[in-house]
């Protein structure tokens, strides 16, 4: 664990927005690109270790969103208007914070990409923020994008910190038929 803390401290060392964390899908991604400015400013009040973990999680989330969008484009898969409407309605009914339409799009894109990745590459399904994620398939996809130079890390330590987030303790539910059926049926906003 000390090595991880040392690696993560590299993210906190640079002033926000001053350094490219990763070049992904044709864009340089800096700390300031990881979320709204007010949300990033709130992170500054966290203890150092929590701040570092939050920064890495924000970068992981950003990379996953970009990778999902790229993958869906490659596979010519789209989120339909009907799916977005159903998901938005489900989020409104549940009283979800934020902008339901934006949250619905993010959830539907992640779900479609994860289902397609799981069917293409297999591997473990693990609980994620918006339902199950195809962990091993997503890792393979990220490796593929690195090989194609769609993801380029200017700092190998940041790469290691991010990839460590994909390999922590996980609960594998891919052998549970009901979990797989629920996963394939749609994201939480549809249930």
What tens digit of pLDDT does each residue of 56-102 get? 888 888 999 999 999 999 999 999 999 999 999 988 888 776 788 88
Q: Which residue is associated with the tokens 């629920």?
A: 182
Is the pTM higher than 0.75? yes
What Rg value do the Cα atoms of the chain yield, rounded? 17
Distance CA 122, CA 145 (A): 18
- Mean pLDDT value of segment 39-67: 82
Q: How confident is the model at residue 141 (pLDDT cuts 50, 70, 90)?
A: very high
What's the pLDDT score for residue 109? 95
pLDDT at 26 over 80: yes
Over the chain, what is the mean pLDDT? 82
Distance CA 37, CA 75 (A): 33
| Contact present, 1 and 7 (Cβ < 8 Å) | no
């Amino acid at each position: 664990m000390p090595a991880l803390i040392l690696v993560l401290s590299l993210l906190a060392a640079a002033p926000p927005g001053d350094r490219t964390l990763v070049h992904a899908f044709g864009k340089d991604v800096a700390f300031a690109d990881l979320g709204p400015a007010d949300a990033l400013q709130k992170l500054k009040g966290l203890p150092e270790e929590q701040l570092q973990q939050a920064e890495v999680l924000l970068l992981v989330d950003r990379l996953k969103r970009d990778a999902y969008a790229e993958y869906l484009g490659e596979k010519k898969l789209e989120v339909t208007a009907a799916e977005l409407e159903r998901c938005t309605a489900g989020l409104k009914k549940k009283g979800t914070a934020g902008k339901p339409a934006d949250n619905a799009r993010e959830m539907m894109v992640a779900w479609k990409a994860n289902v397609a990745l799981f069917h293409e590459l297999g591997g473990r399904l693990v609980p994620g923020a918006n339902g199950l994620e195809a962990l091993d398939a997503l890792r393979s996809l990220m490796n593929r994008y690195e090989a194609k130079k769609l993801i380029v890390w200017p700092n190998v330590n940041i790469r290691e910190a991010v990839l460590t987030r994909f390999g922590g303790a996980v609960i594998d539910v891919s052998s549970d038929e009901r979990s797989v059926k629920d996963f394939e049926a749609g994201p939480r906003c549809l249930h």
